[in-house]
Amino acid sequence: MQRVVITGIGIYSCLGQNLDEVRDSLYHGKSGIGIDPERKTQGFRSSLTGILPQPSLKELLKRRQRIGLADQGEYAYMATIEALKMAKMDLDFLSSQEVGILYGNDSSAKPVIEATDQLRLKKDTTLIGSGSIFKSMNSTVTMNLATIFKLRGINMTISAACASGSHSIGLGYTMIKAGLQDKIICGGAQEVNYHSMGSFDGLSTFSTREDDPTKASRPFDKNRDGLIPSGGGATVIIESLESAKKRGATILGEILGYGFSSNGDHISAPNVDGPIRSLQMALDQSKIKASDIEYINAHATSTRAGDISEGRAVLQVFGEKQPLLSSTKSMTGHEMWMAGASEIIYSLLMMHNGFVAPNINLTDPEDELKNLNFAFDTVKKDFDVFLSNSFGFGGTNSSIVVKKFSE
């Protein structure tokens, strides 16, 4: 079995458009939540969302490379060029080696809606244009990035709701561990446009605290009133230890375990048993004790049912010695298909800079979760091992354990 390490990361999120900006936002507990006024004109209950600019790619990519990229593909591209640079993989390297891509994405609503609008208007399919199909498919991110970066290895999208990004890393880890692939670009991307969020808004799941956007996302807090949709792109390049050493790559961490499970229960309501099983599997595979985990990046999205069920699972699995825990969604909102990958990056940034980012806006935790070891404020702490949880609709669960690299 191969050991699997992380050799490059890149991020484009509402906390910043590169690793340095995001690290500073995490340290200072800076929220990336704001208002999208257009949502009100479109009949949304809530206009709260993660705020991030659409990147300008005209100087970076040719027309044909650009016109198939949906919003989330553009975010993923920006994150991936940062990660590739860190991993010291240039285009010559990528086109001559077998590098794969497994990226999480679970919607591409805006191009689908725009194509349908155009068809209804023009009554002619040709007039939809050539880029639409490549923007509209669920695999839009991997089909575009694999083409742009000339990738020659595994090439597919992982769709697993809000655990997509996490499963992409877990499945990449599994392939490398089994010796099937040496280097894989993993990650997650999430569109932030209103088109993709109307039906979710309609479930009354989103916070409506529009008078105070940066206080709206309050995972674990009694006074929460829902989650805030958000997104961007997060790329995590993983590699066999042997390959990383041979190349002299910088090793950011080692993936020790990937736990997964399905609740076998309700389509949207979470449960406790499913997360317990994915947590336990991740720990067993890592061959470490629960007490060895020093930080948990919680999935907690700022919904009562989700926060409480995850809290119960963590209390049960980690018992008396609770690791420090925070939900960075308090700052980012819920980055959904991207979250499992971005939260690995957020945790790596913390681990390499000696702090645990705060669970902002948590002033009054749920009574039954008071024994969780919350990071209410930024905690200066050197740590070596963390665990990141991601759960999604349909009861899909993923837990990943990462350790600072040592021989």
Partner 1 sequence: MAEVLEAEVVQKINHFLVEEFEVDEDSISPEANLKETLDLDSLDYVDLVVEVESNFGFKVSPEDFISIVTFQDFYNYVQSKVAAHK
Contact (CB, 8 A) for 101 and 142: yes
Contact (CB, 8 A) for 362 and 374: yes
Contact (CB, 8 A) for 234 and 378: no
CA distances from 245 to 57, 147, 407 (A): 33, 27, 11
Site stretch for partner 1 (CB under 8 A), options 59-67, 88-96, 345-353, 398-406: 59-67
**Contact set for partner 1, span 113-172 (CB under 8 A):** 122, 124, 126-127, 129-131
From the candidates 14, 167, 186, 334, which is the catalytic residue? Answer: 334
Residue 56 interacting with partner 1 (CB under 8 A)? no
Which of 28, 43, 64, 91 lies at the binding interface for partner 1 (CB under 8 A)? 64
195 is catalytic: no
Q: In what order do the strands lie in the sheet with 295-297?
A: 155-158, 99-104, 183-190, 232-240, 4-13, 253-262, 396-403, 385-392, 295-297, 324-326, 373-374
Alpha-carbon span 356 to 349, nearest angstrom? 9
Look up residue 216 and give its two tokens. 């709206």
Residue 62 interacting with partner 1 (CB under 8 A)? yes
- Which residue lies nearer to partner 1 by CB, 122 or 222? 122
From the candidates 14, 28, 162, 186, which is the catalytic residue? Answer: 162
Residue 180 interacting with partner 1 (CB under 8 A)? no
Which of 53, 56, 63, 267 lies at the binding interface for partner 1 (CB under 8 A)? 63
- Which residue lies nearer to partner 1 by CB, 132 or 326? 132
- Which residue lies nearer to partner 1 by CB, 139 or 243? 139
Least spacing, CB of residue 137 vs partner 1, in Å: 15
- Which residue lies nearer to partner 1 by CB, 146 or 379? 146
Least spacing, CB of residue 140 vs partner 1, in Å: 15
- Which residue lies nearer to partner 1 by CB, 61 or 315? 61
Burial class (CB in 10 A: 0-12, 13-18, 19+), 40: middle
Alpha-carbon span 404 to 348, nearest angstrom? 9
Least spacing, CB of residue 59 vs partner 1, in Å: 11
Alpha-carbon span 116 to 109, nearest angstrom? 11
Contact (CB, 8 A) for 42 and 194: yes
The catalytic residues are: 162, 299, 334
**Residue numbers of the site for partner 1 (CB under 8 A)?**
62-64, 67, 122, 124, 126-127, 129-131
